[in-house]
Every structure is written in structure tokens, then in C-alpha cells.
Structure 1
Amino acid sequence: MRRMWAALVAALFSVTLVLGLTACDGKHRWCEWDSTDTRVPNRYCEDGLPGYEWETGFKNYKWQ
């Protein structure tokens, strides 16, 4: 029984991971300065600079 639960948890984790990675396909995401939610050029997130993160969805934003 314990192995079945472990397999189920692993499968759900894998599906969630795959769906999460495909949701950020680059078409509907942008880079934001995290502390102010200000939209900045994507190069900040592409370069992996601290304090910047990818955002997705629909919301109002202000450009830096």
C-alpha cells in the first residue's frame, strides 16, 4: 500500500512539473522586479539576476 501511494505521489508530481514548465512557454510571460511588480525587459530574468522573476497571466503592470 505504501509503494502505491509513493508511486501515485511521484506521478502527480511529474504531471504537475510538466504542466508547470509548459505553461511558461515564453509567449504569455514577462519579467518583473519582484518587490514592486514592475515590468522590466526580459533580459533581467534571462540573465538570472536576483530580485527579478517571470510572471504569467493577465494583470495590470507599470513599466520601469
Structure 2
Amino acid sequence: MLNFGKPYPEQTFTVVIFAQNLTNFSYVPETFLKNKEICVTGKVKLYKGSPEIIVKKEEEIQLE
């Protein structure tokens, strides 16, 4: 999970990458994307009152 705004559990937005989808990435998302600006493509849904996007493949995340 990539949390934005504030650290968990006070994040304002979350990008979720489930373990079974990590093989779709040429990098380790939680380390490679840390402190980088990104653009995420996907459907925003609420999970426990917080917005999130579930990402399944590398192409859904772009570096800014």
C-alpha cells in the first residue's frame, strides 16, 4: 500500500497493490515509488471511508 497525505492510519488517499499483482511490476513499488510524485490511473473507491485505487499493473502508475 502507498499512503498519501499522512502516515497510516490517517492517510488521505491510498494506492493498493495486492501481493498477487506484484509480479506485474519490474520494480518493488513500496521502495521504488517512495517520496516520488506519481499519477495513478484507475477507479477511485471508498474503503472504510477513505478513498483508494486498486492498481493491478505497472502501466497504471506513471512517474511525474
Give TM class, smaller chain: under 0.3
Larger Rg, first or second structure (1 or 2): 1
Answer 1 or 2: higher relative contact order, Cα 8 Å, separation at least 6.
Answer: 2
Greater share of residues in helix: 1
How high is the TM-score relative to the length of structure 2? 0.25
- The structure where strand makes up a greater share of residues is 2
TM-score by length of 1: 0.25
